[in-house]
Amino acid sequence: MSVVAGLALTLQPVAAMEQAIRVESPSGPLPGPPAIRPPMPPPVPREALREPSEPPRWELVEQEPPSRWAAPSATSPTAAAASPAPPSALNWQLVVPPVAESPTQPPAARPEIASAPTWEPILPGEEITSADVAREVEAEEAARQQAAAELEPEPPQPTFGGFRDLYRGERWYPSISTIVPMGFGPSGFMAGIGFSGADCRPESRTCTLYSSVSAESIREVGEAVLDGYLGFGDSSRSVGVLITQTSGGSYRASERGNTFERMQTGFALSRNFGPDTALKLGAEGALPWDQQEYEQAFNIEVPKSAFAVISHRIRLNGDAAEGLTEADTDADSNRNRIRWFPDLYLTAGLGNGVFRPSDAVIRSQIQEVKRAGCWNAPCSNERVRRALTQGTEWGTPYPIGAIALAITDQLNLITEWTGRNLNLSLSVQPFRNIGFTITPGIGNLVRNSDYNNGFAKDNIDCQGCDFGNAVTDRPIFYLRSMISFRF
């Protein structure tokens, strides 16, 4: 017994020391009874499960301090002084959101909980620098500007022209008139050469000899002249200058061995007002190369004539095939596709000389003959011809105009009032990328003074005059053709 009692006395200080170490050491186990885990709830059947309306989250919860931090007793003042009051313990617990869906909702229709973001390491060489960010911002801005540019319509391209044919968007287009001048002028250096002819002219005083068109009538009374022009300047920014050249009587002159006799030069100034409107002022046949030869001609194909016209383009089918760049994927196919009824062109103005009615020309000729003193007195043939020539020139201006409907961008239907009669023609561009046009037409469709109707013989004091040989009794056929270039 003494041995057992001694062993117990020996173990008591050791146990007390271990207990003191456990209490004072923060790394030791906490005093008090061991923590007991709450029992796990029984499994819930799948039919009763409800999906949360949002992903679970963690919340901060404050708990009471463990028993080791309990307030000291009155019997242990030393321990109270040595152990300050600790703060509340911080623990985290999982908070599950409330369930919003019905437990009877089928599994396929239950919402999925969004997965948490994941972090991945960046390999060497894949670091994102400020230069990379700047390049990405620039690329996004360029893409935004390109998208905005695609939504904005391209500005319409201005329309220019040579003698009668149009030029726009790096290519030529058919004519919008045959006899009436048009308002559109040149841009850059332009040039062209061609011919124009008719199976008869009232001024030739031979149209009434043939009531129909035949090989004989064309050979006897038909006529063709050479046309050419040179254009330069810029009608859209400053002024376009057009110089025209016409030969008189080339067909019969070639039979005499001088195709280029009675050459006449004209000129015109043009100015664009916007991309679709242009004004042109000028004169045709104003400067004969040989004045004496010009005055002694029995008939003049292009008498000296002044004009002022305005032309306007109405875009019916837009510029879908114009203004495209080579970078466009379908640019070539769009340029070559047929556009039906793309444009309508209107031309209106004033002109004299050849742009006057037949009765006005004849009245002016009679006045010139009287002024020359050859009306009631004999005169030389040269003097009478000079008076008749002067009667065909200049004079009072009359309204002129033309309407051209673009059936396609290679085919125009033209109707025009030449100041004396109504014409109808069709201008064709056989090759899309070549400025070559063929414009056949028929003129004198209105039976006015050209048909010996409407002459006020009493007013012009010519009761004994026979106007039958100065007019026509049928329509007249025209043909104009020209090839144009831009340098």
Residue 211: partners with Cβ closer than 8 Å, 6 or more residues away: 473, 474
**Do the Cβ atoms of 313 and 291 come closer than 8 Å?**
no
Partner residues linked to 287 by β-bridges: 265
pLDDT at residue 238 in the model: 93
Instruction: Write down the domain spans for the chain.
Output: 160-319+336-486
Rounded to 10 degrees, what is the CA torsion of 384, 389, 392, 393?
Answer: -130
* Dist CA 353 CA 181 (whole Å): 13
pLDDT, tens digit (0-9, with 9 covering 90-100), for 12-50:
544 444 444 444 444 445 455 554 555 555 655 555 555
Confidence (pTM): 0.67
First to last CA, the chain: 135
* Cα 373 to Cα 370: distance, rounded to the nearest angstrom: 5
> How far lies 272's CA from each of 55, 235, 350, 368, 421, in Å?
70, 5, 18, 38, 28
CA distance linking residue 225 with residue 480, whole number of Å: 10
Strands (E), 248-392: 263-272, 277-288, 305-315, 343-351
Q: What pLDDT does residue 46 have?
A: 55
Cα angle: 244, vertex 245, 251; to 5 degrees: 145
DSSP string, 108-143: GGSPPPPPPP---PPPTT----HHHHHHHHHHHHHH
Cβ neighbours, 10 Å, residue 388 = 24
- Residue 431, Cβ neighbours under 10 Å: how many? 10
DSSP bridge partners of 484 = 192, 435
Give the residue among 59, 42, 47, 45 at the shortest CA–CA distance from 101: 47
Contact of 171 with 177, CB cutoff 8 Å? no
Whole-angstrom distance, CA of residue 367 vs CA of residue 72:
143
User: CB of 279 within 8 A of CB of 257?
Assistant: no
Taking phi over 0 as left and psi of -120 to 50 as alpha, with beta for the rest, 252 belongs to: alpha
Instruction: Give the distance from CA 450 to its chain's centroid.
Output: 44
pLDDT at residue 10, rounded to an integer: 47
What crossing angle do the helices spanning 381-392 and 358-371 adopt, rounded to 10°? 140
pLDDT tens digits in sequence order for the chain, 487 residues long? 444 444 444 445 444 444 444 444 444 454 555 545 555 556 555 555 555 555 666 666 555 555 544 444 444 444 444 445 555 445 555 555 555 455 555 655 555 555 666 676 766 666 677 887 888 888 988 888 887 766 666 678 899 999 999 999 899 999 999 999 999 999 999 999 998 888 887 665 567 777 787 877 777 777 788 899 999 999 999 999 999 998 876 566 666 566 667 789 999 999 999 999 999 999 999 999 888 888 877 667 788 999 999 999 999 986 544 544 444 444 455 556 788 999 999 999 999 999 999 888 888 888 898 899 888 888 888 888 888 889 889 999 999 999 999 999 999 999 999 999 999 999 999 999 899 999 999 999 998 888 877 666 555 566 566 666 677 888 999 999 999 999 9
* CA 235/CA 230 separation, integer angstroms: 14
> Which tokens go with 354?
């050849």
Backbone phi and psi for residue 350, each to the nearest 5 degrees, phi listed first: -130, 150
Q: pLDDT value at position 63?
A: 55
Amino acid at 92: W
Nearest to 438 by CA among 403, 411, 409, 476: 411
CATH code for the domain defined by 160-319+336-486 = 2.40.230
Q: Compute the C-alpha angle 92/97/101, nearest 5°.
A: 160
* Spatial separation of the C-alpha atoms in residues 84 and 168, rounded to whole Å: 96
CB 379 within 8 A of CB 293: no
Would you state the pLDDT for residue 342?
A: 94
Judging by beta carbons within 10 Å of its beta carbon (0-12, 13-18, 19+), is residue 390 exposed, middle or buried?
A: buried
